[in-house]
Amino acid sequence: MPFIRISMIRGKSESYVQAIADGLHRALVAEYDVPEHDRFQIVHQHAPEELIFDPSYLAGPRTQDFILVAITAGRPRTPEMRRAFFHRAAEELQRHPGLAPKNLMIVINTTQSNEWSFGDGIAQMASADWLAATGMASDE
Amino acid sequence: MPFIRISMIRGKSESYVQAIADGLHRALVAEYDVPEHDRFQIVHQHAPEELIFDPSYLAGPRTQDFILVAITAGRPRTPEMRRAFFHRAAEELQRHPGLAPKNLMIVINTTQSNEWSFGDGIAQMASADWLAATGMASDE
Amino acid sequence: MPFIRISMIRGKSESYVQAIADGLHRALVAEYDVPEHDRFQIVHQHAPEELIFDPSYLAGPRTQDFILVAITAGRPRTPEMRRAFFHRAAEELQRHPGLAPKNLMIVINTTQSNEWSFGDGIAQMASADWLAATGMASDE
């Protein structure tokens, strides 16, 4: 139930961008209790002057490889899960495509399950009928 | 008081994009207690590889017409209002421009009225002076 | 700890865009308790039909210079601080690059400090070890 926006400077190959998206999703599945098929990602590629970041605030030195990931999550997780996810995401992207952990910034924003419609005009996770029909457990 | 981001794959006509934006606004006005003139919408058009989505998680099968709508709302509404809005949005966009409901995903994120400045450097909905001068009721 | 998205219509000079970003950051530092080096900004430039706004709802008349600023803040501030920030932001941008206050809309969305990783795979503001090693105070 998260969806994520990945903001980066234009100019990387399509396979590099794909590797970033893949690695972030693997980290969410491994550490943030996200189902494998619950994947929705938007990539925003910018001119250098459109992505403004301090080179060294709280981490760094950041370079032009800097990526800012904004995650809209569907329900709260524990601080421990967040810590594990941040760690895993940095690890996955360092392994492939080779992003330095200092260049990965992540911000999570939490909503409620009943604020999501995945399609068909219904709020799947807040619909007793839908949950009963599909045999899924409510996420709330 | 909502503003919404509409994310889609590049390549649709300007009138198609306009119809999507119009239909979403009609649904907000009809079912989410949004004034007709309270309209602020941003359209993000992406290369296909920049909009990544699972074809069938909780709805689908989704196609390249898939649209992800992120709504930042100014105050909470009831789950019933959300349900009615999701339903109406799918209906409006199916009627025009003919978007299949399976291709419409919506996520709402709720803030507080006093976190909004509509212009002029003031928080209109949190300013007693402004509300008194205009005769408007506070939204909070 | 905020990061901000600045949405505007394409066509302004690079120095104009820079002045908008600079002025917003100065206002955050002056009135919203943001450290000078805590700066992360993303500029989204759009075709005119991609930025849809009512010309006069609660402020205006808005023109094609309209800018919508979405701020993701790391922790709550008081309504008084928000008011001071809105006022200061309008003032800064009016002075330079000359943006009319009616054309500046700002929306703040608040998260928690432990939902942020600034890099290195850790949640800096939620890590006792990190805070102790750097001598920084927790933001929470």
pLDDT in tens, chain C (140 residues): 899 999 999 999 999 999 999 999 999 999 999 999 999 999 999 999 999 999 999 999 999 999 999 999 988 899 999 999 999 999 999 999 999 999 999 999 999 989 999 999 999 988 888 888 887 776 54
B133 contacts chain A (CB < 8 A): no
Which residue, among A94, B125, B135, A93, has the nearest Cα to C83 in the 3D structure? B125
Higher pLDDT, B55 or B126: B55
Distance from the Cα of C79 to chain B's closest Cα (Å) equals 7
Residue of C nearest to A56 (CA): C37
Percentage above 70 pLDDT, chain A? 98
- Residue A99: inside a domain: yes
How many domains does chain A contain in total?
Answer: 1
- Residue B32: inside a domain: yes
- Residue B62: inside a domain: yes
Residue of C nearest to A67 (CA): C119
Say what the pLDDT of residue C127 is.
82
CATH of the domain at B116: 3.30.429.10
Question: What domain range is B109 assigned to?
Answer: 3-134
Position A139 confidence tier, pLDDT thresholds 50, 70, 90: low
Is A45–B50 a contact, with Cβ atoms under 8 angstroms apart? Answer: yes
Say what the pLDDT of residue B140 is.
46
- Residue C73: inside a domain: yes
Residue with tokens 């392994």: A95
Rounded Cα gap, residues B51 and B41, in angstroms: 19
Is B46–A41 a contact, with Cβ atoms under 8 angstroms apart? Answer: no
Query: Which residues of chain C make contact with B41, given a CB cutoff of 8 A?
Result: 51-53
- Mean pLDDT of all residues in B109-127: 92
Give the DSSP letter string of A58-124: SS----TT-EEEEEEESS---HHHHHHHHHHHHHHHHHTT---GGGEEEEEEE--GGGEE-BTTB-G
- Residue B139: inside a domain: no
- Residue C139: inside a domain: no
Say what the pLDDT of residue B138 is.
65
- Residue B101: inside a domain: yes
Provide the mean pLDDT of chain B: 94
B61 prior amide bond cis, ω within 30: yes
- Residue A18: inside a domain: yes
Position B128 confidence tier, pLDDT thresholds 50, 70, 90: confident
pLDDT of A29 > 60? The answer is yes
Tokens found for residue B66: 């898939």
Summarize pLDDT for A65-109 with one digit per residue, the tens. Answer: 999 999 999 888 999 999 999 999 999 999 999 999 999 999 999
Whole-structure pTM value:
0.96
Is C124–A58 a contact, with Cβ atoms under 8 angstroms apart? Answer: yes
Say what the pLDDT of residue B132 is.
84
Instruction: Reply yes or no on whether A97 is catalytic.
Output: no
Residue with tokens 């805070």: C131
pLDDT of B137 > 80? The answer is no
Q: Of A49, A103, A109, which is closest to C119 when you measure between CB atoms?
A: A103
Distance from the Cα of C41 to chain B's closest Cα (Å) equals 17
pLDDT of B139 > 60? The answer is no
Percentage above 70 pLDDT, chain B? 98
Q: Of C38, C109, C114, which is closest to A54 when you measure between CB atoms?
A: C38
pLDDT of A140 > 50? The answer is no
pLDDT of B100 > 60? The answer is yes
Position A138 confidence tier, pLDDT thresholds 50, 70, 90: low
